[in-house]
Structures are given as C-alpha cells and as structure tokens.
Amino acid sequence: MQRGEELPRVWIAPGAVDDVRGLLRFGSLDRLLVPVGPVVAEHAGAAAPGPALVHGPGPGGVEHDAARGIPLLEAVDRLRWCATRGLRTVVVVRGQTPSEPAALAGRLCRGLEGDAVGAVEVDLRAADDQQALKVMARLREETPRDLLLLARLSALQADLVGVARGAVAGGAGAVVVCGSVPLGRGRWWSGPSTGAISRSGVQALAQAAQEQRWPPVPMVAAGGVHDPDSADAALAAGAVAVQLGTALWADPTVLWSVAAHLEGRGDPADRTG
C-alpha cells in the first residue's frame, strides 16, 4: 500500500504472532496485512532465530523476551507463502546499524515475492531522533517509492515526539505507538494492562501534532487492545488503527471481532474534529 492510503483498521503485531498459519483456521486474512518478521541480519554469536521466549503470565500481561526474529531466507519463504495465497504483508525489519533494516527490506522488496510487500515496519523504540531520521531515510532509499513505511515507537520513549518527528522526516508514513514496558535485559511486559500506556503515547503525539511539534501521520495503537471497547478507547485517543498481539494468544477470533467492530464505525476522518 502507498503512503497516504487509508490504513487497515486492524494490524497483527509481528512479535506476538510468530506464525500466521494458525490464524487462517479462524477466518480470512484477505483484508489485513500479514506480518513477516521481525527480519534480522545473522550475526556470529547472536541468539538462534525463533519466537519470543515468554517467562510467564501475570495479572494483565506476560513477561517476555524481545522476539529473536527470523533470518532473511526464512522471511523469503514466509513472503512466498503469503504471495501464493494472495495475502499482502507488512515486512518488519530490525538491525544493529542504521543501514541493516534498509538492506533487509530492500532485498525482500526487490525479490520475486516483492509484490506481496504492502508495507515495511522498522523498530525505532531504542532510537533517538537523529537515529530515527537516519534509519528511515535509508529505508526510504532502499524500498519502492511511496511504499508505506511505519516506525515502531515506544510510548515510554524519552523523546517520543522528537523520534516521531525524525521518523516522519525520514519518510515514515505512519507510526506504531507501542505500550509494552521495557523491563531491562531485553525483557518486556505486554498485555491488556499496557493499554493506558499506548493510549498516553498516542495522546501525547496527537497533542504535539496540534501544537505543530511534528508533522502528523496516522497512528496505530499497539498494546492493551483486546476487545472492541479497548479498540474504541485507542481510537478515541487519536489512533486511526490498532494492532493486536498478545490478545490473539488469549483468543485469535478477537482479530475479526475487532475488525468488524471498527469497520462498522465508518471513516475515522468523520469522527475527528
């Protein structure tokens, strides 16, 4: 999909949903963007690729490691799997240097299955504004012109508005505001209890946009969305779409119930103002 095009109302979180094959048993993914990734470069001594290790559930969430990601070859396989089923994807890339995410995304977009890439998301939760600008600019250079690029930000980032400004200046067409709580040593807390955090991030960015402190782009609220009511709350805070992650572990059919609910709400532009 292209920059400026209306975003799907519901997205699937790439870290939480390691493999979408299981979801297909519960409904169609035709109108969604299927996540592929996080795609990571292979480094000597790096952890073996695979899903995020979950240390345990607690009231309102789970404590987990960051997703270890998948290598490029695995990403090509998954992209092909999606392409053969006519599914559009959002490729999620991560890297240790500013150019790594761009290189990975570029390889996938230029490949035989590149047509299946509907958007690219890059994780900027640990970046500052200059790094965000640099990473997004490289990504923009390596990917097709006008392909939608999303920047994944943390609502708890020290300079959220500055990083968002850098990401948009670098070419981001939308931002994903994530409510997961960093616990240190690569661990995160995610789940329904983080809804207020992601909403606060969305509200902070919406406020900053009104004050013209960053050029606003559509926001996707990620964190704590687990039913139509929590999706409504995220949209009321200023998001135009929501991303579902651990909520799908509890009940994968929530994906379609939230999608149906938000489809019924009509154009988000009609609700604002």
Nearer to another protein, 63 or 128 (CB): 63
Task: Give the other-Cβ count within 10 Å of 137's Cβ.
Answer: 17
- What is residue 166's three-state secondary structure? helix
Comparison of 23 and 150: residue with beta carbon closer to another protein: 23
Footprint of another protein on this chain (CB under 8 A)?
16-28, 30-31, 50-54, 56-62, 191-192, 226-227, 229-230, 246-257, 259-261, 263
CB of 186 to another protein, least distance (A): 17
Measured from the CB atom, the residue of 55 and 110 that comes closer to another protein is: 55
CA-closest candidate to residue 66, choices 180, 194, 193: 180
Using CA atoms, how far residue 199 sits from 156, 221, 223, 273, in Å, is: 11, 7, 8, 18
Choice between 101 and 192, CB closer to another protein: 192
Angle between helices 99-110 and 72-84 (to 10 degrees): 40
The least distance separating another protein from the CB of residue 240, rounded to whole angstroms, comes to: 17
- Which segments of 95-210 are extended strands (E)? 117-123, 148-154, 174-178, 181-184, 187-190
- Measured from the CB of residue 183, what is the shortest distance to another protein in angstroms? 16
How do beta strands 10-12 and 174-178 pair? Answer: unpaired
Q: Please report how close the Cβ of residue 236 comes to another protein at its closest, in angstroms.
A: 17
Residue closer to another protein, measured from CB, 51 or 71: 51
Smallest gap from Cβ 263 to another protein, in A, equals 6
